[in-house]
A and B are shown apart, each in its own frame.
Chain A
Amino acid sequence: MTTVKTNSMTPVQAINDGLRTMLQEREEMVVLGEDVGINGGVFRATDGLQESFGEDRVFDTPLSESGIIGTSIGMAMNGMLPVAEIQFFGFIYPAYEQVMTHATRMRYRSMGAFTVPMVIRAPYGAGVRAPEIHSDSMEALFTHMPGIKVVCPSNAYDAKGLLISAIEDPDPVLFLEPLKLYRAYKDEVPEGKYEVEIGKGELLVEGEDVTLIAWGAMVPVIKKAAQLAEEKGITCDVIDLRTLSPIDKDIIAASVQKTNRCVIVHEAQSTGGLGNDIISIVNDTSFLYLKSPIERVTGADVHVPFWALEEHFLPTPERTLHAVQKVMDF
């Protein structure tokens, strides 16, 4: 039996390790973005990579998101494996056109002649007192469009494993990095290459009464909420969705059919948020199992506010517990 050596890492270190692992493994892979080179990225995610792999593999780009993504699409169509960094997810809007009209539909448009095996890495989310726009969670803008996968790890192990799967994926993958969790805690992360399958959620905690569903930075929130609920005698299934497109419908259905109740937590605004799609999934797969209406705990339907009000915008374990009690008391 072979033992796998692991190292204790933060999520951002795991991302760096994943990039390094794949740069070694796939020589057609490149890393590009604003400040990813000498600077090692604004969050140090690409720290030391240019030093190891040279300016041809890891390079800075002009301050132009549209250019970064457009260039990446071209490289990907021509046999390279670009991993582009968008410094903050909220800055992706100039590149949105490139993603939506080109990256997502190139395979379809060219009848399979071209695929776009690129990864867009983007730190997202509020809670770190970043300035305006930096904190947006606009995953739903991307999950709406077929042709691009959207993943969002909540821990270091999944971050490396999912990133490697994303790089290996023949189609574009949007890789959302919860920036609040970048250095929140450490996990044991295996050395070398391993994959976490895209499209599979994970049941983190098993319970009987309520299904809690979240992803990214909200996973610690629902884990905490589950603990608070347990003190009140309510046990929860805690699901980390991990992939937002395609969503793991099976894990949701299995859990809701067991617990008969569901609370979805996301920090994005509720209107048009991904929680609504999850409600549809429950409706389609498990309607007759519901003992109460599904609750959502989300960001408010406003722009992510400036830092003084940020904590009021974000879902908390207490708000989640309130929703849990609501579905229990219905």
Chain B
Amino acid sequence: MVEVKLHDIGEGMTEGDVITYFVKEGEDVNEDQPIIEVQTEKMVTELTAPKGGRIKDILVEEGATISVGTTILTIDAGNASIEEDEAAPKNDSETSEPSETAPDHDRKREVKGPVRIKAAPYTRKIARELEVDIEQIKGTGKDGRITVEDVKSFKGPEEAVDKGEKVAPATKKAAEDPTEEENWIPFKGRRKQIAKKMTQSIYTIPHVAHMEEVDMTELLAFRQELKPEASISVAAFFIKALAIALNDYPIFNSELDEENGRILLKDSVHMGIATDTTEGLIVPVIRNAEGKSLSDIHKEMKSLTAKAMENNITGKEVTGSTFTISNVGPLGSIGATPIINYPEVALMAFHKTKKMPVVDQNDEIVIRSMMNITLTFDHRVADGGEAIAFTNRFKSLLENPKLLLLELV
């Protein structure tokens, strides 16, 4: 009889939830066949059969939380004939005896072989800091040693998630073939941090999304006019216009202190710019956007996003934002319901600008460059009416860029 216990799958876990059984009592299983899916604090994983045989007793109900060491089910390994792919003939009684006492991880080692990592301590430190699993990296250094560059350029599965590639239906696939581990994507590092923050935001803030369309024709023309003198990115105009609109509607540039029952209106607009990097989403911050010219904002934004891409942005440069924008238009998008960058109160997303037939004041159909925007805001702090007024103010500044001149500092 083999007892299948919940063992420490890693990172010193103490308990886990049994989610699904892939097997029923009385069913035959092969060695290493996935039999149970277990959720720990940090991951969902499968436990495999340590031994082929017949499932005897299932001792834990699905959904139950159990501590490490608990016996989940038992396998009657006496009937080992189903192990058909074994080349060497086995004596059942001999093989089943020691397996009862053999801990699961020993078996794992047997199957996979020991993982030998060649990496200097410094490389391991960097890997630890970047929360990269060094065992997944292929070394390009001398004798296959993993270099710091290997760690830094390791295209972890985190990136794959962001790019939407290989979003593996990991569970199913692995169930079919447990050796295909490349389909598993570790959920950790920046991905996990992002998840944590998003969950905190969405579970704390009642989000409302307000959408609007903005006629960008004039602004694009204005920008074109400036071109010989200065190339200012469209996002710089967004930031400038938002800084002005936020000054008029400061409630969207605030922070809710629920504990003390008050809302802090921020003095300055520190604009967070959601930036899609290979390492995941990060938000560099342009400080005091209200006091900066368009060209200053443009330059600063360029330098910050470049740093973000090279992954050498400092902690200071990504903290303290009071309002965040997400300029996804260049990637293509007509609408979204963005999640607020907690503890801020609102976030504005810019979607794709495209030429559209629009009915003008003279009831004629004209071609205009139209862009959708979405403002998500914290409904505890502000209401729809304010959101519409704020958005309209912002819209008017973009549709008539000359109005921006009135706000020159």
Distance between Cα atoms of A260 and B148 in the complex (Å): 12
Distance between Cα atoms of A234 and B142 in the complex (Å): 20
With both beta carbons as reference points, the residue of chain B lying nearest to A293 in the complex is identified as: B120
B residues near A288, Cβ cutoff 8 Å? 121-122, 124-125, 128
Does A291 belong to the interface (CB within 8 Å)? yes
Tell me which residues from 112 to 135 in chain B have a Cβ below 8 Å from any Cβ of chain A.
120-125, 128
Q: Report whether A289 and B122 are in contact in the complex, using a CB–CB cutoff of 8 Å.
A: yes
Give the secondary structure class of A's interface: loop
B residues near A292, Cβ cutoff 8 Å? 120
Residue in B121, B128, B142 whose CB lies within 8 Å of A290:
B121
Does A91 belong to the interface (CB within 8 Å)? no
Give chain B nearest CB distance to A154 CB in angstroms.
30
Q: Please, what's the 1-or-0 string for B125-162, where 1 marks a CB less than 8 Å from any CB in chain A? A: 10010000000000000100000100000000000000
Q: Report whether A260 and B142 are in contact in the complex, using a CB–CB cutoff of 8 Å.
A: no
A residues near B124, Cβ cutoff 8 Å? 288
B residues near A291, Cβ cutoff 8 Å? 120-123, 148
A residues near B128, Cβ cutoff 8 Å? 288
Q: Report whether A289 and B142 are in contact in the complex, using a CB–CB cutoff of 8 Å.
A: no
A residues near B125, Cβ cutoff 8 Å? 288-289
With both beta carbons as reference points, the residue of chain A lying nearest to B122 in the complex is identified as: A291
With both beta carbons as reference points, the residue of chain B lying nearest to A283 in the complex is identified as: B121
Distance between Cα atoms of A260 and B123 in the complex (Å): 10
Distance between Cα atoms of A290 and B119 in the complex (Å): 10
Among A287, A288, A289, which residue has the most Cβ atoms of chain B within 10 A?
A288
A residues near B148, Cβ cutoff 8 Å? 291
Give chain B nearest CB distance to A179 CB in angstroms.
39
Give chain B nearest CB distance to A237 CB in angstroms.
16
B residues near A290, Cβ cutoff 8 Å? 120-122
B residues near A289, Cβ cutoff 8 Å? 121-122, 125
Q: Please, what's the 1-or-0 string for A281-305, where 1 marks a CB less than 8 Å from any CB in chain B? A: 0000001111110000000000000
Give chain A nearest CB distance to B39 CB in angstroms.
32
With both beta carbons as reference points, the residue of chain B lying nearest to A257 in the complex is identified as: B122
Q: Please, what's the 1-or-0 string for B168-179, where 1 marks a CB less than 8 Å from any CB in chain A? A: 000000000000
Distance between Cα atoms of A30 and B142 in the complex (Å): 60
Q: Report whether A287 and B120 are in contact in the complex, using a CB–CB cutoff of 8 Å.
A: no
Distance between Cα atoms of A327 and B121 in the complex (Å): 14
Among A287, A291, A292, which residue has the most Cβ atoms of chain B within 10 A?
A291
B residues near A287, Cβ cutoff 8 Å? 121
Give chain B nearest CB distance to A287 CB in angstroms.
5
B residues near A260, Cβ cutoff 8 Å? 122
Distance between Cα atoms of A101 and B123 in the complex (Å): 46
Distance between Cα atoms of A61 and B148 in the complex (Å): 61
Tell me which residues from 259 to 317 in chain A have a Cβ below 8 Å from any Cβ of chain B.
260, 287-292
Give chain A nearest CB distance to B331 CB in angstroms.
38
Q: Report whether A330 and B142 are in contact in the complex, using a CB–CB cutoff of 8 Å.
A: yes
With both beta carbons as reference points, the residue of chain B lying nearest to A286 in the complex is identified as: B121
Distance between Cα atoms of A330 and B128 in the complex (Å): 21
With both beta carbons as reference points, the residue of chain A lying nearest to B125 in the complex is identified as: A288
With both beta carbons as reference points, the residue of chain B lying nearest to A290 in the complex is identified as: B121
With both beta carbons as reference points, the residue of chain A lying nearest to B120 in the complex is identified as: A291
Distance between Cα atoms of A291 and B141 in the complex (Å): 12
B residues near A330, Cβ cutoff 8 Å? 120, 142
Give chain A nearest CB distance to B255 CB in angstroms.
38
Give chain A nearest CB distance to B141 CB in angstroms.
9
Give chain B nearest CB distance to A262 CB in angstroms.
12
Give chain B nearest CB distance to A10 CB in angstroms.
42
Give chain B nearest CB distance to A327 CB in angstroms.
10
Distance between Cα atoms of A287 and B122 in the complex (Å): 8
Give chain B nearest CB distance to A232 CB in angstroms.
19
With both beta carbons as reference points, the residue of chain B lying nearest to A261 in the complex is identified as: B122
Among B120, B123, B125, B148, which residue has the most Cβ atoms of chain A within 10 A?
B120
Distance between Cα atoms of A94 and B4 in the complex (Å): 70
Distance between Cα atoms of A288 and B121 in the complex (Å): 5
Among B121, B123, B125, B148, which residue has the most Cβ atoms of chain A within 10 A?
B121
A residues near B122, Cβ cutoff 8 Å? 260, 288-291
Give chain B nearest CB distance to A325 CB in angstroms.
14
Distance between Cα atoms of A260 and B125 in the complex (Å): 12
Tell me which residues from 211 to 240 in chain B have a Cβ below 8 Å from any Cβ of chain A.
none
With both beta carbons as reference points, the residue of chain A lying nearest to B141 in the complex is identified as: A330
Distance between Cα atoms of A287 and B121 in the complex (Å): 6
Distance between Cα atoms of A289 and B120 in the complex (Å): 9
Distance between Cα atoms of A291 and B121 in the complex (Å): 6
Distance between Cα atoms of A288 and B129 in the complex (Å): 11
Other contacts beyond A288-B125, A290-B121, A330-B142: 14, CB < 8 A:
A260-B122, A288-B121, A288-B122, A288-B124, A288-B128, A289-B121, A290-B120, A290-B122, A291-B120, A291-B121, A291-B122, A291-B148, A292-B120, A330-B120
Can you list 8 contacts pairing A with B, beta carbon distance less than 8 Å? A288-B121, A288-B122, A288-B128, A289-B125, A290-B121, A291-B122, A330-B120, A330-B142
9 interchain residue pairs of minimum CB distance: A288-B125, A291-B122, A290-B121, A291-B120, A288-B121, A260-B122, A287-B121, A289-B122, A290-B122
Which residue numbers of B lie inside 8 Å of A, CB to CB? 120-125, 128, 142, 148
